[in-house]
Amino acid sequence: MITLHLLGDSLVKAYGNDTDNFIGGWGDHLESFFDKDYVNVKDYANGGRSSRSFLNEGRFIDNGLFTKDQFPYNLGPAYDNIKEGDFCLLEFCHNDDNSKGKATYIDRMTPIGTPGKDGIYPTVVPTADMMVSTASFPEEYPGVLVEDGMTQEEINANIEKYTEILASYNDKYYSYRCGATFKGYYKFYIDMIRAKKATPVLVTPPARQFYEDGKIASIPGNHGGSDEFGPFKYVRALKQLGQEENVVVVDLFDFTVDFLEHLGKKDASYLQSIVGLDGNTLGESMYGRAAKWPEDYDTYRENGNFKKVDDTHTNRLGSFIYASVIAKELSEKCPELSVYKLKTPSKEVAYPEMLKSYHSEFEKIILR
């Protein structure tokens, strides 16, 4: 039995069944594309995590912070479960950049570093001597928030919030300014996974639905935005690392850019989850907000009785399509898995009414 271990954030997370949830992560569906007698999936992903915070929180290597019941599906830390011959799929990035402003500087944001003249970003791996005390709150943090345009009231609220977060860690952690970089955190995972004689796989994150003139926009908060070397700098950094470390890269990002631009902003929005008037995600059963898919989803979209369409998180169909793309690339690039890839997935996911005209087009993607 080969296990696919999924490490990542809310886009990777498994939210539950296809009946009681609108929201979905590709971790909900990946197993349905492989023969379950030979391949199983363990999903450790959780919302709001970055390559740095996932490590600091003890979700990869056990540091005694959590009991098993505090992990998704009671799996416990990922590293304990990895064995020789397994595959570990890593998809972070959405929380590593400043997608939510600099408030997350304390726990999530991960520095990409300054690229060289060739546009290559530095790979500085976190080491034990880089860790700093959780008892000393970063003195530069208030100034960072001032630069981000926050009021003093907002600054005080964030200081209180993140003081509590640091207190929930062990005595030391990797701070934003510890010296390690985005590519370095990934390399840490790669090296540890390979030490177990398992195979690391980098999955580039799906694009956020930020459109400008019909194109997916490279703006701050969308995978780092642009710099002098081009757009989406965090995605470019991941691809660089894949080449440098000879790691398989499953390029979900490039697929989603083309796919979402082809659909256009209106139709592509029907692949997304929705946020209710109270600010909570609708149709998320694990938090007591179960709703019938896709009937209730169609009703909400038709009536417009919600706060907004989520430009980041996919719904059941969107996440199913993305899982199909990952499964296809994974089976093509990893021969050990190709023999277990199903010609037809073991389940189907229903379409929202607005997208039923796309059924044959989407089926070609799912079944290819």
| Number of Cβ atoms within 10 Å of the Cβ of 122 | 16
- The domains of the chain are located at 2-124+180-367
| Residue 93 zone, left/alpha/beta (φ > 0; ψ -120 to 50; rest) | left
**Residues of the chain where predicted confidence (pLDDT) is lower than 50:** none
CA 217 to chain centre: 19
Tell which CATH classification among 3.90.1170.40, 3.30.565.40, 3.20.20.10, 3.40.50.1110 matches the domain 2-124+180-367.
Answer: 3.40.50.1110
**Can you give the pLDDT at residue 210?**
95
The answer for residues whose C-beta is within 8 angstroms of residue 129's C-beta and 6 or more apart is none
Q: List, in sequence order, every residue forming a beta bridge with 274; answer none if it has no partner.
A: 309
CB 290 within 8 A of CB 21: yes
Cut 0.75: pTM above it: yes
pLDDT for 75 equals 87
Closest of 19, 40, 45, 18 to residue 30, by C-alpha: 40
Q: Write the CA distances from 234 to 80, 88, 245, 346, 354, integer angstroms.
A: 29, 20, 16, 34, 33
pLDDT for the residue numbered 218: 95
pLDDT for residue 220 = 83
What pLDDT score does 98 carry?
79
306: exposed, middle or buried (Cβ count in 10 Å: 0-12, 13-18, 19+): middle
* Residue entry with tokens 């570093």: 113
Which helix (H) or strand (E) covers residue 200, if one does? Answer: strand 199-203
Helix (H, G, I), strand (E, B) or coil at 101: strand
Residues 6+ apart with CB under 8 A from 244: 123
* pLDDT computed for residue 214 by the predictor: 96
